[in-house]
Amino acid sequence: MRRLFSVVSLCALAACADQGPGRQYVVFFSQGSSALDDTSLSVVEKVAEKARHYSDRVVVVEGYARQNGDLSTESLLAVQRAKAVSQQLMADGVSPRRIRETTRPPSNAQGIVGSRRVEIELLAQ
């Protein structure tokens, strides 16, 4: 649990760094959940701020899930996580026309926690 807290804290700090549009932002989720916690909300808010500043960029939201038991459930979680982040980006002022959602098939390649994430990137069109 301490390791998870450290990873989440470091990601939150990294999201606050002032870097350009090519940077990748990561939002982590609890097992079996697509709910955004306070740390996740702050990361998404930072991305929305950058997206508003770089209005010529597309916001790519890519959902990941863990390969565990029922793969259809995990695949659905990846979609729900990407959707939750996209909806929060829209609530924070990013036009839905700029957001591109994708998902990856369930995998444990990034470890248990790393597989329960959404990556966000601002890319040139």
Q: Quick check: 80 and 34 in contact, CB under 8 A?
A: yes
Identify the pLDDT of residue 23.
82
Q: What pLDDT tens digit does each residue of the chain (125 aa) get? A: 555 555 445 455 444 444 555 689 999 998 889 999 999 999 999 999 999 999 999 999 999 877 776 667 788 888 999 999 999 999 999 999 999 999 887 666 655 556 789 999 999 97
Identify the pLDDT of residue 85.
98
Identify the pLDDT of residue 13.
47
Identify the pLDDT of residue 125.
79
Q: Quick check: 64 and 115 in contact, CB under 8 A?
A: yes
Question: Which residues have CB under 8 Å from 6's CB, separation 6+?
Answer: none
CATH 3.40.50.360 fits 37-124, yes or no: no
This prediction's pTM:
0.78
Q: Tell me the backbone φ, ψ of residue 75, rounded to 5 degrees.
A: -60, -40
Identify the pLDDT of residue 74.
80
Residue type, 118: V
